Amino acid sequence: MEIRLEKFSKSFGPVNAIEDMDLAIGDGEMIALLGPSGCGKTTTLYAICGLHRVSAGRIWFGDREVTHLVPQERKVGVVFQSFALYPHLSTFENIAFPLQIRKESNADIERKVKDIANTLHIEELLGRRPGQLSGGQQQRVALARALVRRPDVLLMDEPLANLDAGLRLEMRSEIRRIQRESGCTSILVTHDQVEAMSMCDRIALMHKGKIQQIGTPDEMYHQPKNKFIAGFIGNPPISFADGVVEDGRFVAQGLSFELPDQIKGASVSAGQKIAIGVRPEYLQPDFATAIEGEVTFIESQGREILYDLKLGGGQIFRSIQSSEQTCKLGDQIHWGIDVNSVFFFDEQGVRL
């Protein structure tokens, strides 16, 4: 089931939470709404499931306009940020609830609830009430309830936020597996870019009520349209430095190198202020364009080592390396950057 938002806007009194959003999600696709707190992710999800009335614009599920339909008429499964389980019902009854509303037979209900409970590893919790479950367990019950009636559209608001790290990893691939098997068009709301990158076909990155860019995880990482996206996607994050263009070079305090041809050709002019962004994997001991700095931070992450290099102008550049540690804290060293992998931004933060 394709989902389409056309010029969707939502305001709360004087607050314009979302303005003129266009978004199309393909049949069977799983897309992430990613962005910092308050950017409008939940608001968008609520409009799609019918809990919020839109202020303007239209919403389509396939050929059917659903803009003014109540949630029950939309065939959506929803997992809320705050679980929203019925406290007086057992786990079994919570999961069975949407099936009972549809008056399915007891035998069918029993079979479907047990099936989905198995998938989500909550078989042994079916007799308990939400108050007797941990946060992570409640979240899985909420997911089971959303999935049990095989919805056309699955909407999830931070479904993994309350799980511990191990379970979160497991649930990431679980949700993805279930989503693929069911072919359910899905939206995952998250502020965790790793979650978005690892679970979804595409990511819509939001900022202040607007979609900044939509693309595959790979496109978002390698072809960010602006500085905000480059900074939001990538872990450990990208390092930025401000400078100016001089004689075909990028020049900042303690840092200068010749601009690559495609940037020189992109009509940058002498004296223009630009910024660079260097991902940690593109600052390495043996890369060509040498920069000098002091090692101010070293952290071993097991397989990889993370370094901070403080440049002459005080900028901190991060490097991630998989070989053995070759320097110690306080060393003054020369490492290199791969200039062809550096991002360049104009003064407004738009990538050149």
Give the shortest CB-310-to-ligand ATP separation in angstroms.
Answer: 33
The answer to whether residue 15 forms part of the interface with ligand ATP (CB under 6 A) is yes
The binder of 37, among Mg ion, ligand ATP, none, by C-beta within 5 to 8 A per type, is: ligand ATP
Compute the distance between CA of residue 75 and CA of residue 154 in angstroms, rounded to an integer.
Answer: 9
**In the complex, minimum distance from the CB of residue 203 to ligand ATP, in angstroms, rounded to a whole number:** 14
Beta-ladder partners of 257: 250
Rounded Cα distance, 305 and 296, in Å: 13
Around Cβ 218, how many Cβ atoms within 10 Å?
9
By the rule CB under 5 A, 42 interacts with Mg ion: yes
Classify 232 as helix, strand or coil: helix
Binding flag, residue 212, ligand ATP (CB under 6 A): no
Beta carbon of residue 50, minimum distance to Mg ion (angstroms, whole number): 17
In the block, residue with structure tokens 């991002």:
343
Of 42 and 319, which has the nearer Cβ to Mg ion? 42
Residue from 29, 43, 172, 311 binding ligand ATP (CB under 6 A): 43
Which residues lie across from 279 on neighbouring strands? none
| Spatial distance between the Cα atoms of 92 and 145, rounded to a whole number of angstroms | 9
Decide: is 54 part of the binding site for ligand ATP (CB under 6 A). no
Pick the piece of the chain touching ligand ATP (CB under 6 A) from 31-39, 137-145, 287-295, 306-314. 31-39
Among candidates 321, 264, 251, which has minimal Cα distance to 287?
321
Residue whose structure tokens are 């946060």: 135
Minimum CB distance to ligand ATP smaller for 15 or for 165: 15
Residue 191 in contact with ligand ATP, rule: CB under 6 A: yes
Q: What is the DSSP letter of 340?
A: G
Residues of the shown chain interacting with ligand ATP in the complex, contacts defined by CB under 6 A: 12, 15, 17, 35, 37-43, 191
